[in-house]
Amino acid sequence: MEEFLAKSIQNELILICISIIIGVLIGTEREYRNKSAGLRTFILVSFGSCLFTILSIRIGVGNPDRLAANIITGIGFLGAG
């Protein structure tokens, strides 16, 4: 059982690192084009959405799709601001 949990935590850390890298790439492009939402914003958004999705799956929410839909709504709210 401990082996499964250790691999699960390692996979989750890998997913979080990948989300941060994607946030860095998108944020760098936004900084290059002088847009208002830049590097830090996209790192935090990608990290937060990955973390909330992992937590919703871990907690065992009945339908994790609902959480993903709300994350998309929040990102749209940031984009409109």
pLDDT in tens, 14-63: 999 999 999 999 999 989 988 877 899 889 989 988 988 888 888 876 77
Instruction: Quote the pTM value.
Output: 0.77
Name the maximum alpha-carbon separation found in the chain.
49
Does the pLDDT value for residue 2 go beyond 60? no
| Residue 13 to residue 33: CA distance in whole angstroms | 30
Q: Which residues contact 31 (CB under 8 A, 6 or more apart)?
A: 38, 39
CB-based contact 78:41 (threshold 8 Å): yes
Angle at 72 between CA 67 and CA 75, to 5 degrees: 125
Provide the pLDDT for residue 77.
Answer: 80
| Residue 67 to residue 70: CA distance in whole angstroms | 5
